[in-house]
Amino acid sequence: SFLALFCIATSVAMATLPDRVARLEEVIGSSATGALVARVVHLEVCCLGSAAAGPLPQRLDKLEEAAGCTAGDGAAVAVEAAPAPVKDGAPAAPEVADAAASNQVDQPEVFALPAAKRRRCNELRQEGGYQLEANAGSVAPNPKAFKVHPLREEQLRSLAWMYSREACRDGFKGGMLADKMGYGKTATTIGMLSEKPGQVPDERPSGYIRNPATLILCPPHLVEQWEGEFFKFLGDEVQLLRPTPPSKAKDRETLALPPIPFTGSQLFTVDVRDLSELSEEVHHHNARLTPEKRLQEGDNIESLLVQLPPGYFFVTEDSGGERRASSTRTATWNFQHFLDENCRPGCTVQVTVRREKKPRIEPFRGDGPFRILTIANSKDFARLRLKDLLPPEPFNVVLVSTGILGSERHMMHVSQVVCSWHGEKSQSMLCDGKPMSVRQKMLHECVDKWHQKDCFLKAALRSSPALLETMWWNRIVLDEFHESESWVTRVRDVMKSLGATHRWGLSGTPPLDTTDAVLEVAELLWYATDATAPFMSEALKHRKSQKQEAKIWLADEENKKKLHDECQAMIRDVVRQNSSQLVEAITVQEHEEFVQFSVEERFIYRQACHDHDMFDEQLAYEGANVSTREALLKRCAHFCLDMDAEDAGEAVRFLGRDKRAHIEHLRQQLKLEASRAAHLSIWESAKHSLLAHKAQHAEAEKFIHEVYRTSEQVWKEKDPEKKSFEMQIVLYDQNGERRLRPEVRFKQPFRDAHVYPRLNFRHVVQHAVARRCVPRADQILSELQVCSQICCRDPQHLPVAMSAGFQVLANLLDTAHRSLDFYTGQMRSLSDIESLRNEQCSVCLTPKDDLAALVMLPCSHIFHRDCVRSALETNPKCPYCRAHAPKKSMSSVLLEVEVATSAAEPLPAELRSHGSKLLAVARRLQKIRAEDAKAKAIVFVQWQELENKVARALQGHGLPVLQLPRGKNAGREMATVMKSFTTSEEAFVLLLSLEHAASGSNLTAANHVIFVHPMNADTLSSAVAYERQALARVRRVGQERAEVHVWRFVTRETVEEHMHQLHCRANPPDQARAGGA
């Protein structure tokens, strides 16, 4: 029996090695493929920090001891692993290398900016619960060029992972480097670029021109930061090139080239003004000339002159009827038609061209072999041609601002190229307003056409704008990838059109919180194909479809499960997120500053609550949408963002004035719409919609009935000059840039979109008027895609559209009257509290002496809380005036009176000017500077108009403030401001808003972060993640202080206080200190 036991024990010890390894992989949560020894090495790196030596059973014993399981355990229990050893003088090992028996990030950093206005898939927008993988793999060698600033260990792990992703033989090559914010993703990427030179595919991908460079797309303000990082890590190896300034007249020369004999065949082809193809006859002619006198594909033609042979003349007739003969004729436009009409055998054609004297690109800094071209703004982009992206000595990197791809100039250039090479067909297509995805498809068809003949390609390279999407790049890097959440559809279409062998995204907060967000990431990275991820590929086809079968497929639970599994598999395979002990060592000190409203400020805030039907402040996320929270947060920060009031008292008076003016404008608009309907002969059929909305306010109902009873003839007589038909054509946008397509609007008190929120209704009414009296507007509207889709000439559509407008206006008028009543009721309550105490509740007929027991309804009538609650439970109408009043619409009179009255005190001038919140912010900053003269602070708000108010308030308190410049081409100016903030001793405060948040910026000179209000987003997790992103501008590698301070300003008794509590629960202070940004 002893021998039997010995044999059994020996066989178990030898035969269970694979089982022990499998059990350890399950406990540690990470596995590798390959031989048993390779799997053990992988486990040792994950659990112990490095590979061990010795017999395999002993090595497994150490792993089982570290992981808390034994070879005989049926189940394993995970415990915290010992930290990985750190070499003396070496950077600290990354957090993931000594994680507790797991290769997953405990709290993955995910983020979504406020979404752009594009169609979303509601079926896929639930929280996905996806888990990011930490990088516990091998360490790559330090890049050879990184001599002065070597990469840290966690960066080398990320670099090794990036190498492995690009080395994949089949399928997707690339991924998303999601190392936490401030941990050096830029440096890691530069290390890969320096070690992996550009390559081009053996075969040209259809629709593209091969380019061996790496294309880096980053936000405008990060262009100079990328340039600086290249020089920091690569030093003398770098040569930076930039486009030269736009050429002036003196920089161009006009050349009259030698005449070309015409023998009968076509000499060349002209697209607008650019030569696209030369005949063999012209090539033979060029061979006898010096290079500068040769006609070349892509030349820009100034004029053409045809010289007839001796004895032949052109006969023309001038305006006086006199006939004249000449042997020459000249054209300065419509060149192709001119040649076809005027050339005869034996004549000669002289071409005058315009050529630039100076190159379009020139060295800016350095002369190393690593060549970088920077395109920072639309002016740089307009300067370049396609051939500039393919110089004889190729670029290693083309660094481009993402703002260029969303500019009107880029869209215009796409249209220009498509029109030039597709002719009349594309002209019609573009006039119909087809989406950017269709234009991109036609652009790639143009590229294939260029490759049909060498002369086509030469002409296109010389004359076409430098459209990045025509190139097949060796590598694409999308920096600050999370900003893709805020890209509009046409920008996403351009991004999806960019071709590359390797595709990378960089983001410390990747947008991976929902299945829909993961699909958008996969779409931009070109990950999901029918072969690699069939369910993701199918979901991408269905997610924006309105067809019933698509909705059925997306709602199917089995499809959802398989889709979720594929999304998690993508994240596991192509996304990695590391952290760094260098950053974790920087502690975060959280501070809360609570602010109390003044009487007038609370009055204004409660008005905003009423106007947005926000009566329960404990429903900040569940009971209010993003726009409602935005309106209330703005009121918490300042009492008047939209008017110039000297103090809150004056703002209260302005508020009443504006409410009365709003009612008057609505009445004017309603009369104008009625006159318009009468002149269009549809008043009698459209007016019935006025009564579809039962007005709750007596004044509103009275006016609506007056309008309804007025006849069509009377409305025509009231508008004899047809003022209701007046239109305007808007050529420039709000930034002063010319629109790609002019916008047509009515001249009226309200914007067309407010009266007709639906685009098809708005277009039907506009076009009906334009066809009658505004030919130019008729032409513009006829070219829109919506015009062909809805067939607005159908006479049945107009009454339906105008009926919808009448219904909207009637509803707005009723709401405006009720809002004014609430304002009046508040004013009465606040101005005469004693009179209010002596009044009787109309329900119980007892005095209203206890203010704490009183509530106000939206109609401004006041009752005891218990009395009106029981009444509203039976019938949701005001017991006094019978206006609709759900139970949730009760608001406390105590908040209107006692809380505000307790805050009433003699107000200093600065408080009256800037408000309680901004006064508190300014005083805190003054204390910070008094205690630490070298301190710097970043102040975060979310909206530009609030940013301007904060700037004026801080400047009014004598605090030096820097703001980022505005404009689409302000990238370099933004970088200059941030550099000044970092280097100047005088700079103290940098003010950032969500629109100009300097995402990805390194602002480690600051050690104070101030949130003027809680951040607002679609979901709580997204709002908290944005605050982490803001903190990461400061808490990152390079921060010299041991701790950074976060100050959160919260207004009491408002929705802001409730949002702050929710944010703290989602990201508690202790967690923020440990896990950081």
User: Of 51-55, 704-708, 725-729, 987-991, which range is least confident?
Assistant: 51-55
The DSSP annotation for 134-190 comes to: P--S--PPPPTT-SSSPPPHHHHHHHHHHHHHHT-SSS--EEEE-PPTTS-HHHHHH
- pLDDT tens, residue by residue, 549-581: 888 888 888 998 999 999 999 998 899 887 767
The phi and psi torsions of 793 (rounded to 5 degrees) equal -80, -10
Question: Do the bridges between strand 348-356 and strand 260-261 make them parallel or antiparallel, or are there none, so unpaired?
Answer: antiparallel
What pLDDT shows up at residue 746? Answer: 93
Go through 993-1014 and write b for each residue having 16 or more CB atoms within 10 A of its CB, e for each that does not. bbebbbbbbbbbbbbbbbbbbb
Tell me whether strands 499-506 and 174-177 are parallel, antiparallel or unpaired: parallel
Which pLDDT belongs to residue 190? Answer: 95
Judged against a pLDDT cut of 60, whether residue 316 lies above it is answered with yes
| Contact present, 210 and 204 (Cβ < 8 Å) | yes
Rounded CA separation 669/526 (Å): 50
Average pLDDT of the segment spanning 951-968:
84
At residue 9, the pLDDT reads 37
pLDDT for the residue 1: 39
- pLDDT tens by residue, 903-936: 445 556 655 778 889 999 999 999 999 999 889 9
Least confident of 41-55, 68-82, 495-509, 643-657: 68-82
| pLDDT at residue 107, rounded to an integer | 44
pLDDT at residue number 77: 28
Encoded tokens for 708: 């309804």
**So what's the pLDDT on residue 397?**
96
Asked if residue 308 has pLDDT above 70, the reply is: yes
Task: Report, as an integer, the average pLDDT of 113-118.
Answer: 47
pTM of the entire structure? 0.63
Q: How far is CA 118 from CA 121, 979, 1016, in A?
A: 10, 35, 19
Distance in angstroms (rounded) separating the CA atoms of residues 189 and 161:
11
In 3D space, the residue among 481, 545, 469 whose CA is nearest the CA of residue 507 turns out to be 481
Q: Please check the confidence at residue 890 and state whether its pLDDT lies above 80.
A: no
Mean pLDDT of 357-383: 89
Using 50, 70 and 90 to split pLDDT, how confident is the model at 115?
very low
Alpha-carbon distance of 957 to 954, in angstroms, equals: 5
The residue that leads in pLDDT, 651 or 80, is 651
> Can you give the pLDDT at residue 109?
45
Closest CA to 963 of 939, 933, 935, 928: 939
User: Does the pLDDT at position 880 exceed 50?
Assistant: yes
Can you give the pLDDT at residue 703? 93
pLDDT score for 87: 34
pLDDT of residue 922: 92
pLDDT at 4: 39
pLDDT greater than 50 at residue 10: no
The confidence band for 146, taking pLDDT boundaries of 50, 70 and 90, is very high
Range in 148-152, 174-178, 206-210, 788-792 the model is least confident about:
788-792
CA dihedral of residues 787, 792, 794, 796 (deg, nearest 10): 140
Distance of CA 424 to the CA centre of its chain: 34
pLDDT at 383 over 80: yes
d(CA 375, CA 215): 11
Tell me which of 910 and 338 has the higher pLDDT. Answer: 338
Segment 737-750 mean pLDDT:
82
Model confidence band, residue 67 (pLDDT cutoffs 50, 70, 90): low
What is the pLDDT at residue 648? 79
Better pLDDT: 897 or 340: 340
Which tokens sit at 995?
Answer: 């629109």
Least confident of 339-348, 707-716, 777-786: 777-786
**Maximum mean pLDDT: which of 28-42, 294-308, 536-550, 802-816:** 802-816
pLDDT in tens, 219-248: 888 888 899 899 999 999 999 999 988 766
- Name the percent of the chain lying above pLDDT 90: 27
Please state, rounded to an integer, the average pLDDT across all residues of the chain: 79
When mean pLDDT is compared across 47-51, 350-354, 597-601, 676-680, the lowest value belongs to 47-51
Question: How many whole angstroms separate alpha carbon 626 and alpha carbon 608?
Answer: 14
What lies within 8 Å, CB to CB, of 894 at 6+ separation is: 851, 852, 854
Ordered DSSP codes for 254-323 = EEEPPPEE--SS--EEEETTEEEEE-HHHHHHHHTS-GGGS--TTPEEEEEEEEPPTT--EEEE-TTS-E
Dihedral pair phi/psi, residue 296, rounded to 5°: -125, 150
Orientation of helix 36-48 relative to helix 17-28, angle to 10°? 40
Task: Say how far residue 168 (Cα) sits from the centre of its chain.
Answer: 31
CB atoms within 10 A of CB 758: 13
Residue that is written with structure tokens 């006016």 in the block: 703
Q: What is the full DSSP assignment across 117-135?
A: SS---GGG-SB----PBP-
Q: Which two tokens stand for residue 263?
A: 């023998």
Q: Indicate whether 791 pLDDT > 70.
A: no
Q: Which residue has the higher pLDDT, 49 or 554?
A: 554
What pLDDT does 90 receive?
Answer: 34
**Residue, of 894 and 1040, whose pLDDT is higher:** 1040
Which of 54-68, 476-490, 618-632, 867-881 shows the lowest mean pLDDT across its residues?
54-68
State the pLDDT at residue 878: 82
- The number of beta carbons lying within 10 Å of the beta carbon of residue 933 is 9
Please give the helix or strand (H or E) that residue 116 lies within, else none. Answer: none
- 454-481 pLDDT, tens per residue? 888 888 888 888 999 999 999 999 998 8
Q: What is the pLDDT of residue 81?
A: 29
pLDDT of residue 895: 54
Q: Which residues contact 783 (CB under 8 A, 6 or more apart)?
A: 431, 432, 433, 741
pLDDT at position 601, please?
Answer: 85
CB burial class (10 A; 0-12, 13-18, 19+) of residue 476? buried
pLDDT of 450 over the 80 cut:
yes
87 or 537, greater pLDDT: 537
CA dihedral 1050, 1051, 1054, 1059 (to 10 degrees): -10
Q: Are strands 471-478 and 499-506 parallel, antiparallel or unpaired?
A: parallel
Count of beta carbons in the 10 Å neighbourhood of residue 358: 10
